[in-house]
Amino acid sequence: MSNEALQSLAREMKVMTDMAAGQLNAPATVSPQEAQDFRDALHRAILQVNQAQNSAQANVQSFAMGEGSMTLEEVMVSLQKANLSFQTMIAVRNRLVDAYKEVTNLQV
């Protein structure tokens, strides 16, 4: 996952977190385009996390088999990046579930 992609994901998660916490005013209605953009952003983030984990696993297997020129440090860094991206995705999911529960409990 590139640094630019991580920064973009972090910005999107910050906005979602702020909206879930009520710090930003969410639009009263969401246009179909905005819903599509959110869905696409979430889908891309999930794919990036999956790709990071697959890449880290491939690095581990390559290192264990003695293939390639990966050092132990590079393998550990790739594992930590994959773990961090996964933990971030779990935190976003938890915030989205909490926000959903809050919205469903609102009295109209």
The answer to whether residue 26 sits within a structural domain is no
Domains of the chain: total: 1
Q: What is the pLDDT of residues 46-105, one digit of tens each?
A: 999 999 999 999 999 999 999 878 899 999 999 999 999 999 999 999 998 998 899 888
The structure's pTM equals: 0.62
The answer to whether residue 27 sits within a structural domain is no
Q: Which residue has the tokens 């390559």?
A: 62
CA within 13 Å, CB half, 27: 6
Confidence bin at 37 (pLDDT 50/70/90): confident
In sequence order, what DSSP letters do the residues of 7-38 get, joined into one string?
HHHHHHHHHHHHHHHT-S---SS--HHHHHHH
| 79 compared with 19, residue with greater pLDDT | 79
- Parent domain of 70: 3-21+32-104
3-state secondary structure 64-102: HHCCCCCCHHHHHHHHHHHHHHHHHHHHHHHHHHHHHHH
